[in-house]
Structure 1
Amino acid sequence: MNIDFIDEMNQVTEDELKLLRDLLNYAADMEEVNSEAEISITFVNNEQIQSINRDYRQKDTATDVISFAMQETGEEELQIVGDNLPEHLGDIIVSLEKAKEQAKEYNHSYQRELGFLIVHGFLHLLGYDHQTVEEEKEMFERQEHILEEFGLKRDA
């Protein structure tokens, strides 16, 4: 899978990027995603993600992760089609500040929290959701399974 990392905070280390790239490729294999698929991951602060959350979701609060799936088309959106276009799954935006706060709150490593948020966002790009109790159960079980199998356990 082709992954474009954009670190607007200049805080993510090469080791963390490698971990996240390996984790995403592992999750993509488990979900049988096309190996040529593309995604972008942008790392921001709480202020930036709050602005995005307010503008796109009408929720004026900082959040941990937001996903924009390219495979979904909403009202008045044009579907991009073509024979030789790569499959772009979408964009994931992660607040590094929230990741650090939540790692401390949940008493696990920062790397585990980053991995959790990345897998959560990735599953959203693939169509998983948590609007109902059943959807939430399926999505959270899947993300825990991916993280556990990869080796990013809660106490890691």
Structure 2
Amino acid sequence: MKSLKNQKKNKVLIRKEKGKLPVKWIKDLVNKLLDLQGLHGIEVSLYFTDDEVIKELNKTYRGKDKATDVLSFIFDEPAGPYRLLGEIVISVDTARRQAEEIGHSFEEEIKRLVVHGFVHLLGYDHELGGEEERKFKELEDKLLNSL
């Protein structure tokens, strides 16, 4: 059996503006996603905010003047002893609304949004359509089914 001693652990940072969130569960979820992709020595940041802040970010970085559920920002650069993969920004307001509309738990919606954002951090983009959208959805489904 291969020793895990020499493998770097990953670092998951979480910022939140309001409300209670299952922080340990979210960190475990991201670490599991990194592990499933064989990624080690990685830093991922998650920012949980509200519709107002995510709307401003969406307008600034994507030219869309509306709130959204999740945004991803790829950094892929050294961050001390880690390689910073990027940041996932999630609107808690939208996540709660979508969970209610779909009929599943808030935690299930957070899981879905974290996975969606994570696939973007890996460089996949469903908005390109065609083969890229297919690859994105395939990996997203694979990861969701592995959790």
- TM-score interval w.r.t. the shorter chain? 0.7 to 0.9
Cross-structure match for 1:123: 119
| Structure having greater relative contact order (Cα 8 Å, sep ≥ 6) | 1
Report the Cα distance in structure 1 between the residues aligned to 2:48 and 2:58, rounded to whole angstroms.
14
Report the Cα distance in structure 2 between the residues aligned to 1:109 and 1:141, rounded to whole angstroms.
23
Match of 2:108 among 108, 112, 117: 112
Q: Does 1:44 align with 2:54?
A: no
Q: Deviations over 1:81-122 (max 9, x none)?
A: 69x652000111100011011111111111111011011111
Q: How far 1:147 moved relative to its partner?
A: 1.8
Mapping 1:6-155, distance limit 5 Å = 6-12=15-21, 16-34=22-40, 36-71=41-76, 85-130=81-126, 131-150=128-147
Report the Cα distance in structure 2 between the residues aligned to 1:132 and 1:30, rounded to whole angstroms.
25
Aligned length: 137
TM-score with structure 1 setting the length: 0.81
SS at match of 2:39: coil
Where does structure 1 lack aligned partners over 5 or more consecutive residues?
Answer: 72-79, 151-156
Report the Cα distance in structure 2 between the residues aligned to 1:81 and 1:4, rounded to whole angstroms.
15
Q: How far 1:137 moved relative to its partner?
A: 2.1
Report the Cα distance in structure 2 between the residues aligned to 1:145 and 1:88, rounded to whole angstroms.
24
Where does structure 2 lack aligned partners over 5 or more consecutive residues?
Answer: 1-9
Report the Cα distance in structure 2 between the residues aligned to 1:93 and 1:139, rounded to whole angstroms.
18
* Greater share of residues in strand: 2
Counterpart contact for 2:13–2:46, Cα < 8 Å: yes
TM-score with structure 2 setting the length: 0.86
Query: What root-mean-square deviation, in Å, do the aligned CA atoms of Structure 1 and Structure 2 show?
Result: 1.7
